[in-house]
Amino acid sequence: MIELVPAGCHARRDESWFRLRAGVNRWHGSSKWIQRAAEEDIMSPVNDPVTLLKSAYARWSESKGQDVQCWMDLLAEDATLTSLSAGSAELAFTAPRGTRNEILGYLEGLRAEWEMLAHDMKDFVAQGDQVVVIGHVAWRNKATGKVASTRKVDLWRFSHGRAVAFEEFYDTARAHAAATPDPR
């Protein structure tokens, strides 16, 4: 529980104080204090974007790409996704997405066409509401059996404790080559 008490009210509990408990605002007092409390709650260690992302990436890696709920738990309803392949013929599931449900379609397409071999996102760089995640991934295309192993950079933007934008960058030439059958 976070308790915030305005200056001059340190020792008493009166109508000008409020508390946040389990992410639910309960307050008495001005909207200025409500906004401050919401900002405090958003930036609490539980809702810290880096903490949230480290947990999600760990679940994703441990499940070998099968636990999509780790991402769905982070996303705002109007979250967007863009991928460097942008829905190319070889990687149609990478088309831009504009809602949480559409992003689920991206994840389902990824899981249907690819098998995760490695997903090691190790470096997290945060400034304000943005986080850059850098690492290395390897996926095997289920149709061709070929592997795409590439460095990967993910850009995240958060608002009110939820991911509102995600962009991924990787070696598209390797991904396209792995998704393209060999000529006969």
DSSP 110-163: HHHHEEEEEEEEEEEEEETTEEEEEEEEEEEETTT--EEEEEEEEEEEEETTEE
Lowest mean per-residue pLDDT among 18-32, 56-70, 101-115, 132-146: 18-32
119 DSSP β-pair partners: 137
With 0-12 / 13-18 / 19 or more C-beta atoms within 10 angstroms meaning exposed / middle / buried, residue 99 is: middle
The pLDDT-based confidence of 87 (bands split at 50, 70, 90) is confident
Among all chains, which residue has been given the structure tokens 């943005």? 130
pLDDT digits (tens, 9 = 90+) for 89-102: 889 899 999 999 99
pTM greater than the 0.75 cutoff:
no
